[in-house]
Structure 1
């Protein structure tokens, strides 16, 4: 079955089958050629096409109307030639017909000059009126002229009118088809009606057959041309409309791109301006840092230079056995060292604050405890300068705030000590610094007011710059360093929802205000009223671990002078040996944080704590390091306290007394 089917498929088709297929293609082509164009389904689109069609071909139609008028007038000479050849020729009747046609075409030409002629519907009505008038005039001339010349000399003009209608006037196919059918019906009616009802005839019967043969051919060709032309016109209209839509979309896209380009240019200019501002800011910060370092270097070099001179002079005094002079020079060296330590700590504090290393710890606490602490700490300093320190509190409820207690205490101490320095007594009015707390609805306002010299308005911004002291151009360290307000400003910027404001009047004083958010009383942390510790550290036994030989020797010598017992180690190897030889648990372990070869205080504690505890409670650990913040994050609660180098001997002694006393209390409890 498969072989037979394949053979049947491969069998050649008969010739008549191919011929039938070709005839179908021919008939389909003829049907396509004479298929009348269909108006657009959308009335608005059809109306738009008619307006576009009329506007596009209005100039051609005006030219065709004028040309037809000129040809009708010019053919009057043709009529006169017939009259000359045959005086019986009805010249007046023919000229009358031509005159009527000429008047109609002249009126038509005037209509073509009107704006309404651009509408295709008005143009079609006018053009078909002109075609009808011209055809009627030509057929009338054919009827009244002799049959011998009617077809050859005058009926041919009908073909000319048809050519105008099919070509020059650019008319639509459907009206052209209807007018052609109507013209053919009129020709047939005149040919057979004139003989029956009038003494005239259109043409002889033999000539009528030829006339209709050519009429039908011209009509078929002309109508086919009009059909093809209207199809093309409608297709071109859609293409032009689509092209216009595409062009509009492209224009909109171009406008959008231009807008985006302008926006990108604006962004680019903004980025350039931002980069320039950042560059200017970086240069300004660089200049400020350079000035800050220069001022810090100046304030550090001076006491360092004094310290070196004092130590050299003290050495010579000791060589002469002048103990009185050596003691005086020792006190001078101590003052220089304290000045260096104060300056260095202030610079480090400000640097850590501005670098964002310090992170505030927010708690709820009673700000009255902080005020009492500030007043208690600074009352002796105020008394030494003859300044009265007062405290007022205008709130009936508990003054609980949410802040970092240590930072807020430091801020208040800086502001109060600054006010004490600048307070001035006047006749009838003592020098006073007032510290107050005013309770607001959601905040607490802390005020520090002095009656000092005041700050000129043009200097209000400068007072927060490092090392700026308006009344200390000679840089006298007894009047401070000029870092207090800079540290205050840096701390305020770290504390959330805190705001610092101040007003000042020259000759009347300065008023600083700190807005602090209120806290929750139920969550407040009570202040720890720790008893005053005795600073006597004589007899305390400590293990000291320090890799710097000079610092190790100096601290060991200082501890011995204080009457303490000290075992030292400068590295982990010596510390391991020391841990094996410990005879009793130390009261305190003092260590640096960073050691050579990447070791830290963590390794120190792993070595010494097990040996120092011996089954009992391990001794407290005091870390003294130049990387206090790093040590605090790394060690956490595993150590009792962390002090930042350089630390003043008095503060170090207080810390040793406090921590070792805590060790004694714990031992007693146990």
Structure 2
């Protein structure tokens, strides 16, 4: 491209007449100097390879055509030998070199049809060698032939060879020029040595031969320059096309990425819509379930509360009539209704706490064998009253250590065993049985509760774990339970890590409830004392055991405070009460005795709580004072301040209150 720009500028200056000698010199240099090689050797190598491949077929065709013309001149020599007596004596020797030239050309054709001929360097060697051989043969023929045939019939052959050399064979300008100069030099030397051609004819022939050489070399230079420029243009176009294809590929990839992103976005949007729809449906189902739960809870709570109100009203009328025996009996029935109300209310609160996530399991190593034995012993009297044989196989005497919650697991076992006792099959009188078994496996321990009761149809397996669902109790007989036991069992097992609940049942034949628990770490503490699953199952403690205790009561509800004070007075408990933390602080400044126990509500006035009561006691007394929190809040937590055993939920029975008060005061006395 730079050469062409230089050439155009030189021609323009020449036509304008400006600096004519310099323009002519530049134009001659541009026309006669062969093109320079590319600066980059790699580009030059690629160019020569492309050049050789592109003109290989053209060179083969030109070589075949030139050989045919060379052979045709042999026929012309035959004719000349028959018609000219002067030429005839030289024919044999001249024809011999004609055949030698034909042989050289044939060898060149054979070599040209090999695959290596596409290499430009090899093609140059073959073609230049063939041309040199044919020029040599023609030179010998020229100087062997007699006058004037050596000039008129043979010397002109050099013009044809040069035409082929410069035009048809697509050779490089530098190589052809070197060969031409060499041939002309040999011709001149041969003429000087032999003077075979007449001087005038030789001078004219050389004049024309030099003109053919100059013109042919100029054509060859421009042809090669054109090919080089075209190669650069083609390469630039190829690079441009490659860049365009690369850009198109990148654009196509981006388009595919965008399309994929669009589809992903549509999928995510559809999934989000579906998730929202599922969440909305789940929320609606949860709301409906909660409404059903509240309706069932309200129904079941109204019944004992209604009975409690009626019993108390009847007892009040009996007292007015001074019928002490009837009023005592009616108050006893009212107390039963109150206990049932408290049990139902506490069960509802327990289930609410489990489902709301307010329960944080406390994992310890528990001897499941000992817990099962204690639970079976506690429920033995209840089973006997229902005519059910309760059995626990004690074939394995060694402990079965599991990792579980020491407070909740006994309740799970108690609920499952009590459930089997309650739903014994009446038709199997004296044969009703509940079997409790322990199965030890390498990674877990399984407790099985098997009964031969009424069984559960498979379509009810899921529904029996719902609150207030009792398949065999359509009349809602409270003697058959509250309908919350299995719900609590399912909630506890779902909450505990590594635990699993299984059910197998055949209607009319019985059921098997199984709970899997992970084996405890053998290096963990294995002497944990397990508290009873239900204090109500233990013998009722006597209120007389509390006589003489000094208790501080912190309760803001006047009705609850009055009822507690009345109980303490009847039990012989010494007490002082306060309605807030501020009143308690003032009371602590006046008392002369360290209290044996402090009983406090959790939520207190002025946005304070039982935590503030505990901190106040710790700051005022030099030794720890046991504290019992009695609360009506399902989410109340004293974790990190008081153990779980120091928290009771309202409402609670007097037996549980007495038992817990004794437990805390006796533990404090031992310390």
User: Aligned runs of 1:115-130 on 2, under 5 Å?
Assistant: none
Do structure 1's residue 651 and structure 2's residue 649 form an aligned pair? Answer: no
Are 2:32 and 2:221, in contact at CA under 8 Å, matched by a contact in 1?
Answer: no
Kindly tell me: are residues 237 and 137 of structure 1, through their superposed partners in 2, closer, same or farther at Cα, counting changes over 3 Å? farther
Shift of residue 434, structure 1, vs aligned partner: 0.8
Q: Secondary structure at the residue paired with 2:292?
A: helix
What CA distance in whole angstroms lies between the structure 1 residues aligned with 2:336 and 2:198?
A: 148
Are 1:379 and 1:389, in contact at CA under 8 Å, matched by a contact in 2?
Answer: yes
Are 1:131 and 1:161, in contact at CA under 8 Å, matched by a contact in 2?
Answer: no
> Equivalent residue for 2:529?
527
What CA distance in whole angstroms lies between the structure 2 residues aligned with 1:156 and 1:521?
A: 111
> Equivalent residue for 1:455?
456
Shift of residue 284, structure 1, vs aligned partner: 5.1
What CA distance in whole angstroms lies between the structure 2 residues aligned with 1:364 and 1:510?
A: 29
Match of 1:621 among 619, 623, 627: 627
Match of 1:592 among 588, 601, 606: 601
Q: Secondary structure at the residue paired with 2:394?
A: strand
Unpaired runs of 5+ residues, structure 2, are 1-25, 77-86, 92-100, 533-537
What CA distance in whole angstroms lies between the structure 2 residues aligned with 1:554 and 1:576?
A: 23
User: Aligned runs of 1:397-476 on 2, under 5 Å?
Assistant: 397-424=398-425, 426=427, 430-476=431-477
Match of 1:604 among 605, 608, 613: 613
> Equivalent residue for 1:556?
565
Q: Secondary structure at the residue paired with 2:556?
A: coil
What CA distance in whole angstroms lies between the structure 1 residues aligned with 2:531 and 2:304?
A: 38
Do structure 1's residue 378 and structure 2's residue 379 form an aligned pair? Answer: yes
Q: Secondary structure at the residue paired with 1:463?
A: helix
Kindly tell me: are residues 319 and 396 of structure 1, through their superposed partners in 2, closer, same or farther at Cα, counting changes over 3 Å? closer
Question: C-alpha deviations, 1:225-246, integer Å up to 9, x for none?
Answer: 4665676577678768877887
> Equivalent residue for 2:577?
568
Question: C-alpha deviations, 1:551-573, integer Å up to 9, x for none?
Answer: 33343344445554443222233
Question: C-alpha deviations, 1:254-279, integer Å up to 9, x for none?
Answer: 78768866876786577557645643
Match of 1:542 among 522, 546, 551: 551
Q: Secondary structure at the residue paired with 1:631?
A: coil
> Equivalent residue for 2:201?
204
Q: Secondary structure at the residue paired with 1:636?
A: coil
What CA distance in whole angstroms lies between the structure 2 residues aligned with 1:455 and 1:151?
A: 125
Question: C-alpha deviations, 1:276-317, integer Å up to 9, x for none?
Answer: 564355345424422331232123322444466456656764
User: Aligned runs of 1:154-233 on 2, under 5 Å?
Assistant: 161=164, 164-165=167-168, 171=171, 173=172, 176-190=173-187, 193=190, 204-208=201-205, 210-211=207-208, 213-215=210-212, 217-218=214-215, 221-222=218-219, 224-225=221-222, 228=225
Shift of residue 517, structure 1, vs aligned partner: 0.7
User: Aligned runs of 1:291-370 on 2, under 5 Å?
Assistant: 291-306=288-303, 309-310=306-307, 313=310, 317=314, 318=316, 321=320, 334=335, 337-370=338-371
Are 1:543 and 1:567, in contact at CA under 8 Å, matched by a contact in 2?
Answer: yes
Shift of residue 592, structure 1, vs aligned partner: 1.2
Q: Secondary structure at the residue paired with 1:597?
A: coil
> Equivalent residue for 2:501?
500
RMSD: 5.7
- Give the alignment's TM-score, normalised by structure 1: 0.70
- Give the alignment's TM-score, normalised by structure 2: 0.70
Are 1:402 and 1:519, in contact at CA under 8 Å, matched by a contact in 2?
Answer: yes
Unpaired runs of 5+ residues, structure 1, are 1-24, 80-89, 94-100
